[in-house]
Amino acid sequence: MDDTTKLLLRAARGEALPHAPVWFMRQAGRSLPEYRELRADIGMLESCRRPDLVCEITLQPVRRHGVDAAILFSDIVVPLQAAGIDLDIVAGTGPVVATPVRTMADVEEIRELDPAAVGFVAEAIRLLLAELDRTALIGFAGAPFTLASYLVEGGPSRHHAKTKALMYGAPDVWHTLCAALADITRTFLQVQVDAGVDAIQLFDSWAGALSEADYRRYVLPHSRAVLGGIVGKIPKIHFGVGTAELLPAMSEAGADVVGVDWRTPLDVAAGRVPGKALQGNLDPCVLLAPWEVVEQEARRVLAEGTKAPGHIFNLGHGVLPETDPDILTRLVDLIHST
């Protein structure tokens, strides 16, 4: 399919469009009963390694909502496990790492990612490309800071205290760790690009925990190594939460599109990252309010998004599990008719 018909790619290039393309972070997942049914007896990471399931789960929100992009069903820890790190995703908790990484000796244990170890992802992408037509397929990975946070903390954390303690207290260990993670992430994204995804998104979900100065010093070089190291002319999206103060620095990492959470209006964000297309930024909690509120807020986001060279409508973070899927479908219809 000629990519001129894929709205998401045109928005990423900053072209004027009849309406904004729309997709939702975490659109494939627990807000859908058909997903919960399929995953009833199968572990999260096991399902990520089965191309047939990845293909089906990735397609579920496309069929149901008519979104303009599918995001590959996977997780940011999939390449870490494929590189030999002992971890699991525990329902209701998130990623849990068997032996947290704290010392240079721990970092030296981390192996490179052999592309063959994520062959199941390439296979899933091949299955998906045979099914998708005008819907763009987005591949993704976690950025070094967010991945490092899980590895150092051993699981999800509120303050990222151990992560920051390592960053400030042992910068050599920190930079060696992030360089290793950047290499794994770049390889993982390249596998997806080579298999034919239309765009990629780098999730640095927890980067907002840092000041701009610390982000520039401890994180930006590594995220830049990821985005700059990808071979292939595809749009790159870079997203984090709580990043209002980091948007200019993040925009220097090399992405074409900057993701914005719900805290920063898109017209303000457009002023902070001139020349970049934007993605976002409806508050996911708004979807739990009556439809009139959803409509009003979505129209505001669309109006503010016109200040950017291109706008991909999305939420400010992922779909919450308790979201009514019918509201998502109605929202897609609204965006497409506005």
8 Å CB contact between 153 and 100: yes
Is residue 116 close enough to count as binding ligand CP3 by CB under 6 A? Answer: no
Instruction: Draw the binding track, 299-318, toward ligand CP3 (x: CB under 6 A; -: no contact).
Output: -------------------x
Of residues 13, 26, 217, 224, which one binds ligand CP3 by CB under 6 A? 26
Q: Which residue in the set 60, 185, 205, 223 belongs to the binding site for ligand CP3 (CB under 6 A)?
A: 205
The vertex-136 CA angle with 132 and 140, nearest 5°, equals 115
User: With CB under 6 A as the contact rule, which of the stretches 71-79, 267-275, 288-296, 306-314 interacts with ligand CP3?
Assistant: 71-79
Assess 331 for contact with ligand CP3 (CB under 6 A). no
Quick one: 35 or 218, whose CB is closer to ligand CP3? 35
Q: Which of 10, 49, 150, 183 is catalytic?
A: 150
Q: Check binding of 164 to ligand CP3 (CB under 6 A).
A: no
Partners of 281 in beta bridges: 314
Instruction: Find the shortest distance in angstroms from Cβ 321 to ligand CP3.
Output: 7
Q: Tell me the CA distances in angstroms from 234 to 21, 101, 189, 210, 259, one per residue in order.
A: 17, 33, 11, 29, 16
Nearer of residues 27 and 187 to ligand CP3, judged by Cβ: 27
Contact flags string 75-114 toward ligand CP3, x per CB under 6 A: xx------------x-xx-xx-------------------
Helices then strands, each counted (H, E), the chain:
16, 9
Q: CA-CA distance, 183 to 175, in Å (whole number)?
A: 12
Is position 192 an interface residue for ligand CP3 (rule: CB under 6 A)? Answer: no
Asked if residue 207 lies in contact with residue 246, where contact means CB atoms within 8 angstroms, the answer is yes
Contact 200, 141 (CB under 8 A): yes
At 90, is the secondary structure helix, strand, or coil? strand
Q: What is the DSSP string of 183-235?
A: HHHHHHHHHHHHHT-SEEEEE-TTGGGS-HHHIIIIIHHHHHHHHHH--S---
Contact between 30 and ligand CP3 by CB under 6 A: the answer reads yes
Residues in the chain: 338
Alpha carbon of residue 199 to chain centroid? 11
67 binds ligand CP3 (CB under 6 A): no
Q: How many residues line the site for ligand CP3 (CB under 6 A)? A: 23
Question: Least distance from C-beta 16 to ligand CP3, angstroms?
Answer: 28
Please work out, in degrees rounded to the nearest 5, the angle formed at the alpha carbon of residue 25 by the alpha carbons of 86 and 67: 130
The question of whether 30 is a catalytic residue gets the answer yes
Residue nearer to ligand CP3 on the CB measure, 39 or 276: 39
Between CA 303 and CA 281 the distance in angstroms is 12
| Catalytic residue, candidates 39, 49, 186, 272 | 39
- Other beta carbons within 10 angstroms of residue 307's beta carbon come to 15
> Does 29 sit near ligand CP3 (CB under 6 A)?
yes
**Position among 203, 215, 262, 313 found at the interface with ligand CP3 (CB under 6 A):** 203
Residues that bind ligand CP3 (CB under 6 A): 25-30, 39, 44, 71, 73, 75-76, 89, 91-92, 94-95, 140, 146, 156, 203, 205, 318
- Positions annotated as catalytic residues are 26, 30, 39, 75, 150
